[in-house]
Structure 1
Amino acid sequence: MKKGVHLVFILVASLLSSFSVMAQSLQASVNKTEVAKNEVINLRIMADSEVASDAIDFSV
């Protein structure tokens, strides 16, 4: 369970560092604080400026 939470934080941190040049402000949130193996979570990322969808890099 903790491994899944750590992976979410790593993903959010990498996304924040990728967008720091393009957006003045970026917020990320998840719908759950605890997850089980193979459980789906929602990751919501909000930027205060428009970002092209092809400029987003979700690779980890």
Structure 2
Amino acid sequence: MQITHHRHTQDDDVPFDLWLRRELHMLFDAVADEPIPPDLVRLVEQGPEDWRVREPCLPR
């Protein structure tokens, strides 16, 4: 019994890449199109200096 090894090439990935891209778009395009919540936009615009927690978030 002889085992032959297939050398992986970039062309091998093309069908998979196309399928993956299509599937990801089907799953996540709606999420990516949602508006960004204003609170999140404000946090990003303020930068890391204002990211500290003002009050501890303790479990109840």
TM-score, structure 1 normalization: 0.34
Larger radius of gyration between Structure 1 and Structure 2: 2
More strand by share: 1
TM-score for the superposition, normalised by structure 2: 0.34
